[in-house]
Amino acid sequence: MARAGTHYAAKLAKFNSLYNIYSKFIYVFKHFPIVYVIYCVPSTLLIWQYEANLVILPHSFYQFFNMTPEEAKRLKSDPDGLLSYEYIANHIEDCDPADLNDVIENLVTVDLNGQFTASAARYLNAIDAVKFADAVARLAAATIDKDREHRYLPDLLTGIYGTDCHSRADELSKSDNNFRRIYKRLFPNPDSL
């Protein structure tokens, strides 16, 4: 047993040293009871297996690829955006950025009236406005294009820009194209901007 523990300790030490050097190229796939660590180093691909109960890696080491083929297929058949929105809400903590990008792309495609793109934009903005800034901007732009009846734009405006956005309209219009577009749609009066 001591020999096996030494073996895993040596692997973990090697992982830690490689992680420090190549952290942006490392992906970890968890499939109980094995943890697969894949080093995608330029011109090299190394795969290590760790027994999950012997090696506990900090959460920050993981880049999750959680969407299963079944989930991806189910989301592709999403008729109106609700399934895509639910996936974002239920998997935001562990969703891989590539998966999130795919779900947002699907949501933009299938949501015809902007209801779920607006909700997803407000949700991601509330979770982490900086981390999800690009996703929020894409979803807001899609909502502007889709919400012809202006059902969701008022809530989107205050949800992303705050309840005091009207008093900062000139400033926000100059710095944020989505704000300018929303504000112009909701308040078409030439004096409003």
Query: H or E element: which one contains 130?
Result: none
- pLDDT tens for each residue of 11-64: 555 555 555 544 444 444 444 444 444 444 444 444 444 444 334 444 333 333
Residue 73 has a pLDDT of 87
Which candidate, 60, 69, 140, places its Cα nearest to that of 102?
69
Alpha carbons 65 and 94: distance in angstroms, whole number: 9
Q: What is the mean pLDDT of the chain?
A: 76
Which residues sit opposite 26 in a β-bridge?
A: 39
Residue 156 has a pLDDT of 97
